Structure 1
Amino acid sequence: MSRDRLEKLAEEHMEKLFTKVPKAREFHAGEWTDQDYYRRHLVETVLRIRLNNEVDAYGLYKVGYKDHRLAATLARYLSEENNHEGMFLRDLKKFGLSKEDVDATRPFASTEYLIGYLYFSINQDGPLPTAVWNWFVEWYSDKYNPTITKNAAEVFGLDMVKGSQAHIDYDEAHDHDELMWSTVERAVAGWGEFSDAERHLVNFVDLIALYFTELHESTVAAQAL
């Protein structure tokens, strides 16, 4: 199984996302941001973290007694990621949104589709989908979030991104990209084929493309009306 091959597939489909979703390329390249867009992105990040923690717990349940090492790794990741929403809530408070404001916000339909897809696919393929998703999240974070956050700091001020930067620093210190790749390897070995990992990855990037489309339509495009 080739990690390089999966990374190349992720890059290819992110490129397709950048081609079809307005402002997505500029946002990820640190060439553009917008306050409403960035703030709503942070809100969805919090909502997705909460839902993803529940999905990870379900994926851990599906491992059962079949692979204690994989179960231990997923449990470690779930523990280390627990309550990371607080880092982003700190930044959102600086942008004028309270925890109660975030709690009252319904996730985008794309997030609901993503979470629904994860539950369905975990029922079909065990922990493999959640392992691929978590690896992609960490790969995406390593590749794009430092640039996105640096640009936000330049536009909005360093004090507005301290929580986001703390999350980046935490993931780097705990080597979550490497940790999650080890779960992909074990999940593929026990629950499927590498082609299954590729299939799920493509579906995940398609769902993220839908998310960034919704994000743009609900903020930048809505401002222009």
Structure 2
Amino acid sequence: MLNRVKNVGYGNRLPFLSASESVTLRAEIDQLIDHQIEQWYATVPAAAHLEGRNVDSEYYKRHLIETAWRIRLLRVAEAKTLSEIAKINPEAAQIWANYEQEEMLHDELFIQDLQQVGVSRDTFLATEPYLSTKLLTGFFSYLLDHEGPLGVVAYSYLVEYVNVKLEPRKIEALKASVGEKNVIGQVSHSHTDINDDHPGEVWAALRFLLKDATDIEALKRYLAEHQRILALYFTELHEDTLVKKHVAAA
């Protein structure tokens, strides 16, 4: 009798990449992201603003608001991602579940910092997310419906790699510009990313989801696409705060 059960992650579960091949590919992907970071600083308006000495207070507050909203919105799609991964590979699902458990409530860390700079929880809740954030959330839904979970996990690798690489420098700058007591939540968030090795954790899940060379090429495209959508956000943030302030002062 034919067993009709499928989509339970019990096909060929051996990783496509050996351990050494995985290390080699990860180094290649990291180099690709490093190049994207260079492009970011060269092309995104005010890309290094939060690393400067004179951080605009409205830019800073709005960025914290949007970061908290992105965590809240994306965790819904990322929870759905877990079920899609479980259909493919239970090892990857276990890794992803642990990663999400560690990240799920980090919106509260950014809301904590918002309250330190005078933005109440009610004000946060009354502030609608930017269109760019809604588009990112919609892209996740598209990926899960039509391409699979690989693109969603690719996003997490991109942001975790960049956070671990750049966040310590940004936080030290923010301590000087906005005050150490006003970045406690962000310090806690960064501490989790670094000490729990979130880039390594997400890469471990990615390794189980890469089934062939086509998936590797898709991973590279996803990283570029996510960067484009994230650039839309920082452009929107720049126009909504720094540009408006400049126009108002003119």
What's the TM-score once normalised by structure 2's chain length?
Answer: 0.84
Describe the superposition over 1:170-193 as per-residue Cα deviations: whole angstroms up to 9, x where unpaired.
222211111011111111228951
2:118 alignment partner, SS class: coil
Query: Quick check: 1:213 aligned with 2:235?
Result: yes
Alignment of 1:192-207 (within 5 A): 193-207=215-229
Gaps of 5+ in 1: none
| TM superposition shift of 1:74 | 1.1
Gaps of 5+ in 2: 1-21
Describe the superposition over 1:105-164 as per-residue Cα deviations: whole angstroms up to 9, x where unpaired.
111111111111111112222210111011111111112221112111101111111111
Distance in 1 between residues matched to 2:83 and 2:185, nearest whole Å: 31
RMSD: 1.8
The equivalent position to 1:45 in structure 2, one of 67, 70, 79, is 67
Distance in 2 between residues matched to 1:156 and 1:108, nearest whole Å: 24
Query: Which amino acid letter does the alignment assign opposite residue 58 of structure 1?
Result: K
| TM superposition shift of 1:168 | 0.8
Corresponding position of 1:58: 80
How many residue pairs match? The answer is 224
Distance in 2 between residues matched to 1:90 and 1:206, nearest whole Å: 29
Query: Which amino acid letter does the alignment assign opposite residue 184 of structure 1?
Result: L
Distance in 2 between residues matched to 1:66 and 1:197, nearest whole Å: 17
What's the TM-score once normalised by structure 1's chain length?
Answer: 0.93
- Structure 1's 81 and 51: CA in aligned 2 closer, same or farther, altered over 3 A? same
Query: Quick check: 1:12 aligned with 2:32?
Result: no
2:45 alignment partner, SS class: coil
Corresponding position of 1:22: 45
Q: In the alignment, is the contact (CA less than 8 A) between 2:81 and 2:144 conserved in 1?
A: yes
User: What percentage of aligned pairs have identical amino acids?
Assistant: 29
The equivalent position to 2:170 in structure 1, one of 148, 161, 167, is 148
| TM superposition shift of 1:20 | 2.0
Query: Which amino acid letter does the alignment assign opposite residue 42 of structure 1?
Result: L
Q: In the alignment, is the contact (CA less than 8 A) between 1:131 and 1:184 conserved in 2?
A: yes
The equivalent position to 2:194 in structure 1, one of 169, 172, 191, is 172
| TM superposition shift of 1:202 | 0.2
